[in-house]
Amino acid sequence: MMRKLGAPTALLIAALSITASPAQAAPSEGVGFTARATESSTIITTDAGSMAVEDGALKIKAADGSVVAGAELRFRVDDFEFPIAANIADHTATLTPQFDLAHATYKPVALPYEDKAPLTAPVSADPATRSIAHPGARQTRLRHVGTCARRCRG
């Protein structure tokens, strides 16, 4: 189970580190943070400001309320999205990926140019041909295979 949670946890830490780096450039206005991973969660601790879950994202805010870092509370594996549960207490957020079938949401990714170049003819599902099919093409191939089989039997 640790390997399955390792990738989402590492991605979340990387996303927060990249997003928060501009805040560390100006220490007088920024919010310092530390992030560490456990077997099942990521724990983020800040030294100032506040944290909140807004619009499906964890947001780290400076003392003046401006958002200095954030990350979506979901991750994708193939065509499925999984939520990340956030538990915030004072200056500590514990983020736990919900990486199981019960929390999976099927959301297929659109193919590039899918809406720009639609197919005008059905594509053959026959892996031997991989061609554009026309009505009756499958029946013709099946008749041909049947004829060959009868001839081969002798």
Nearest CA among 34, 28, 68 for reference residue 51: 68
pLDDT digits (tens, 9 = 90+) for 86-97: 999 999 999 999
Does 24 score more than 50 pLDDT?
no
pLDDT, averaged across the chain: 74
Predicted structure pTM score: 0.57
Cα distances (Å, whole numbers) of residue 65 to 21, 30, 43: 18, 11, 22
C-alpha to C-alpha distance for 141 and 139, rounded to whole angstroms: 5
pLDDT digits (tens, 9 = 90+) for 49-96: 999 999 999 999 999 999 999 999 999 999 999 999 999 999 999 999
pLDDT given at position 131: 47
| Residue that has been written with the tokens 């580190």 in this structure | 17
Report helix, strand or coil for 147.
helix
pLDDT digits (tens, 9 = 90+) for 105-119: 999 887 777 667 665
Q: What percent of the chain has pLDDT over 90?
A: 45
Phi, psi of 96 (to 5 degrees): -125, 115
Q: What is the dihedral of CA 35, 47, 16, 77, to 10 degrees?
A: 50
